[in-house]
């Protein structure tokens, strides 16, 4: 039996096992993503004790620079390939893969060239080399086989999720090992040069590169027929442009929306203070990622399949998302009261103030439950212009809200401005959904009731914490 046959047999066994255990792609994705959250919490707890706080601020600034370049070169390939019937015919997928590789090369070159300028802009010389190394992650991601997307499109996202969590665990082990060695060398005074290198942001940087490399290797060794050849098809690119031109324009606006708070704060507060906001943001992003991953990887694929069969309406919009939606709404609402307790329990005294920012920022996750579901349905309906208008509304809110929020309430005001960034988008999206006659007020009423239940549970949990556990930490 050849390698391809063994690979296909293994995939079938995993898929059949998940089906036998009623492990739907959504359930597997949630299980792996929540496992990832707990792993991230655990690793953050350890890393915050092994490294200095500024390391997190440096990583956020690096992520900001990378995301700006990635959004400037956005192609819209993800939703495009999920929607197209012929998306995984060989000539089609080879053309798309070639485009992604070229995009990865461009991102890597741009980051490599602009790294000195970005470092000078923030007056942080340590950013330069870190950005140059991280730049290669973009090239690695661009080379990943499209077979991963094929599994997403064909309802086998659970297999992708399992591979992703395994790669993430290996990445965490690598980062924690390097950080632990750096902490030991720093406090024992051994190998000063190696200690200076590892007792810094470098374990996080190298861990990110390793994570991208592991996913690249997995895409070519754990999937059937993963290989591509370079191909340029003008017809494919023309169809991609027609679909994604509004997405590309919206990406330009997204740059300002998603990065303005971090760029603004990095220039008005010191790095140590910015580190606390950065840590809270990293924790919230973990939860926000679960929501976005569900809607973009599972929900969008499911409703696109229905729409290819010419089906639409309330049953399609609400059907597959009802249970996951309510569960996530309950968690997000409860988290609003849990920030301070979470950081007191998990982190040392240096990071407790980040809990206040977490409580504000988690409101963004709650609002994302409404905006992301609506956006996915509209994109699946080929209403890509709606996303451009939505990003424009976010921009109208974000810039003045961040500036005024900081002037009147400091960094907490910035956190609230970010948290409410969808406040204008949700009414607009729901206006469009209303015109398409896909809204059901009963489902929305249940969702709002779940918000109330989550808030009550979070408040009750906070009171219980303050009466029982909090005295131990304050003492």
CA distance 330 to 448: 10
Residue 16 has what pLDDT? Answer: 56
CA distance 130 to 119: 10
Q: What is the distance in angstroms between the CA of the first residue and the CA of the last residue of the chain?
A: 65
pLDDT average, residue stretch 375-381? 88
Q: Are 303 and 320 in contact (CB under 8 A)?
A: yes
Q: What are the boundaries of each domain within the chain? A: 1-232, 261-468
Q: Are 359 and 339 in contact (CB under 8 A)?
A: yes
Q: Are 57 and 282 in contact (CB under 8 A)?
A: no
Residue 400 has what pLDDT? Answer: 93
* 256/23: higher pLDDT: 256
**Average pLDDT value over all residues in the chain:** 82
* 406/254: higher pLDDT: 406
* 37/13: higher pLDDT: 37
pLDDT average, residue stretch 251-267? 80
Residue 154 has what pLDDT? Answer: 64
Can you give the length of the chain in residues? Answer: 475
Residue 472 has what pLDDT? Answer: 66
C-alpha distances in angstroms, 98 versus 45, 88, 157, 224?
40, 14, 23, 19
Residue 25 has what pLDDT? Answer: 58
* 247/145: higher pLDDT: 145
Residue 475 has what pLDDT? Answer: 52
C-alpha distances in angstroms, 355 versus 87, 342, 410?
45, 7, 15
Q: Is the pTM of this model over 0.85?
A: no
Structure-token match 């940087």, residue found: 205
- Of 369, 381, 368, which is closest to residue 432 (Cα–Cα)? 381
Residue 17 has what pLDDT? Answer: 52
Q: Are 246 and 384 in contact (CB under 8 A)?
A: yes
Residue 247 has what pLDDT? Answer: 66
Q: Quick one: how many helices (H) and strands (E) in the chain?
A: 22, 0
Q: Is the dihedral of CA 345, 347, 351, 354 positive or negative?
A: negative
Residue 473's pLDDT band (cuts 50, 70, 90): low
Of 58-62, 191-195, 200-204, 398-402, the least confident: 58-62
Structure-token match 């959250």, residue found: 37
Find all residues with CB under 8 Å of 332, minimum gap 6, and list them: 287, 362, 363, 365, 366, 369, 454
Q: Classify 313 in phi/psi space as left (phi over 0), alpha (psi -120 to 50) or beta.
A: left
CA distance 368 to 280: 17
Q: What is the CA radius of gyration of the chain?
A: 23
Q: Are 301 and 454 in contact (CB under 8 A)?
A: no
**Two tokens, residue 71:** 């959004």
Burial class (CB in 10 A: 0-12, 13-18, 19+), 407: exposed
**Whole-number percent of the chain with pLDDT over 70:** 83
CA distance 116 to 110: 11
Burial class (CB in 10 A: 0-12, 13-18, 19+), 361: buried
Q: Is the dihedral of CA 150, 152, 153, 155 positive or negative?
A: positive
Residue 448 has what pLDDT? Answer: 95
pLDDT digits (tens, 9 = 90+) for 459-472: 998 888 888 876 76
pLDDT exceeds cutoff 70 at 229: yes
pLDDT digits (tens, 9 = 90+) for 296-344: 877 887 787 777 666 667 888 887 777 888 989 999 999 898 877 878 7
The string of DSSP letters for 40-54 reads: HHHHHHHHHHHS-TH
């Amino acid at each position: 039996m050849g390698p391809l046959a063994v690979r296909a047999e293994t995939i079938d066994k995993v898929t059949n096992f998940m089906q036998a255990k009623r492990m739907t792609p959504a359930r597997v994705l949630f299980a792996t993503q929540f496992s990832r959250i707990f792993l991230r919490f655990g690793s953050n707890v350890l890393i915050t004790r092994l490294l200095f706080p500024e390391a997190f601020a440096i990583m956020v600034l690096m992520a900001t620079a990378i995301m700006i370049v990635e959004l400037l070169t956005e192609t819209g390939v993800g939703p495009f390939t999920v929607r197209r019937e012929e998306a995984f015919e060989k000539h089609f997928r080879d053309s798309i893969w070639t485009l992604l590789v070229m995009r990865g090369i461009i991102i890597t070159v741009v980051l490599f060239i602009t790294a000195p300028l970005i470092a000078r802009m923030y007056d942080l010389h340590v950013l330069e080399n870190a950005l140059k190394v991280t730049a290669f992650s973009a090239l690695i991601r661009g080379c990943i086989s499209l077979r991963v997307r094929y599994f997403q499109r064909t309802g086998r996202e659970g297999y992708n999720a399992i591979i992703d969590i395994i790669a993430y665990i290996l990445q965490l082990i690598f980062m924690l090992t390097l950080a632990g060695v750096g902490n030991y060398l720093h406090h024992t005074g051994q190998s000063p040069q190696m200690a200076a290198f590892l007792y810094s942001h470098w374990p996080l940087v190298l861990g990110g590169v390793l994570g991208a490399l592991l996913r690249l290797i997995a895409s070519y060794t754990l999937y059937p027929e993963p290989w591509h050849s370079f191909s340029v098809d003008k017809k494919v690119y023309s169809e991609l442009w027609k679909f994604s031109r509004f997405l590309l324009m919206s990406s330009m606006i997204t740059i300002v929306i998603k990065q303005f708070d971090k760029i603004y704060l990095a220039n008005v507060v010191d790095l140590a203070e910015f580190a606390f906001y950065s840590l809270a943001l990293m924790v919230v992003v973990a939860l926000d990622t679960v929501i976005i991953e569900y809607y973009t990887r599972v929900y969008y694929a499911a409703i696109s399949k229905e729409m290819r069969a010419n089906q639409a309406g309330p049953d399609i919009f609400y059907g597959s998302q009802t249970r996951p939606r309510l569960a996530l709404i309950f968690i997000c609402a409860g988290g609003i009261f849990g920030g301070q307790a979470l950081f007191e329990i998990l982190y040392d005294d240096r990071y407790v103030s980040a809990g206040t920012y977490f409580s504000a920022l988690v409101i963004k996750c709650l609002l994302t439950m409404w905006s992301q579901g609506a956006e996915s349905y509209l994109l699946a309906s080929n209403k890509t212009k709606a996303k451009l208008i939505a990003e424009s509304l976010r921009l109208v809110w974000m810039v003045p809200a961040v500036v005024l929020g900081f002037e009147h309430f400091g960094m907490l005001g910035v956190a609230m401005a970010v948290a409410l960034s969808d406040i204008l988008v949700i009414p607009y999206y729901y206006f469009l959904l209303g015109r398409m006659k896909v809204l059901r007020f009963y489902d929305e009423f249940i969702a709002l009731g779940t918000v109330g239940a989550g808030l009550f549970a979070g408040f009750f949990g906070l009171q219980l914490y303050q009466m029982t556990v909090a005295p131990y930490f304050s003492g």
